Amino acid sequence: MSKIKLSKDFIRNTVKRALNEDLYPSGDITSSLVKNNKIIKVKIISNENAIVGGLLFAKQAFNLVDNKIKFQIKKQDGSNVKKGSLIATIEGNARNILIAERIALNFLSHISGIATKTNKFVKLAGKKCKICCTRKTIPNTRVIQKYAVKLGGGTNHRFNLSDEFLIKDNHIASSNVKNLVLLAIKNKKGRKITVEVDNLKQLNEIMGLKFNTVLFDNMSVKNLKAGIKIVKKYYETEASGNINLKTVKRVAKTGVNRISIGSITHSAAAIDFKLEI
């Protein structure tokens, strides 16, 4: 799959767009009321237990507003932090710190939220089963969200539609599953092929064809176990469909190789951080 790259330029450009969104067209009209020569020291504190992530984005926010601001990282991305933990210290011009504050905290909160939720699934699934993200991401933030998944111990699924053949229910409804798989094999050019099934009858139609992964979608644990027993010697296995923190352990115990979960990116709650003066 495409590699997730968080280069300095990518981080800078991403944060720059966020600042432009926040400051157009007249800048921070409230912070401009603060004395321009006032120097302050502040702390970023976590208000809850979390896997922290996004510190370089936060640092870049302050740097872009004022490169004289000193931002000292106290916890590294991927660290498991407790409520009340000191995440970073900041020293510099008060007005400029206040301008960058919310953008910095937004990146921290969102990335840490995904990393934290992913980590909860990873712990419940155990070491033999991978937790994967999906393409259910906020448009234009996929790189950041998939980075956050990795911080939480998860595995990145395909990055985009060019990475892998993933023959899903609507493809099958629009054509014939066996023909689709054969065409994918013919055009694979080194890419993996995954075929989604939602019942054992569909599974029997594709058995023996040379592809990589069977994706069991929205199947009961009983049927999932039966399907894995049929295919485990021949294909990698994946489960998906409405799997949550209450059910993931049960699904993982079926012996499935990986579980893909959309909610770790599309609905992870933000982690609460505060900037304390």
Would you please indicate which residues are annotated as catalytic (active-site) residues? 102, 136, 168, 196, 217
> What are the contacts of 201-206 at 24+ separation with CB within 8 A?
202/172, 202/177, 203/227, 203/230, 203/231, 205/177, 205/178, 206/177, 206/178, 206/181
Q: Helix, strand or coil for residue 131? A: strand
Integer CA distances (angstroms), 148 to 4, 119, 153, 186, 264, in order: 11, 10, 9, 35, 10
Q: Are 47 and 272 in contact (CB under 8 A)?
A: yes
Q: Where are the beta strands (DSSP E) in 109-218?
A: 130-132, 165-167, 193-197, 213-217
Look-up of token digits 């330029």: 9
For the four alpha carbons of 183, 185, 190 and 194, in that order, the dihedral sign comes to positive
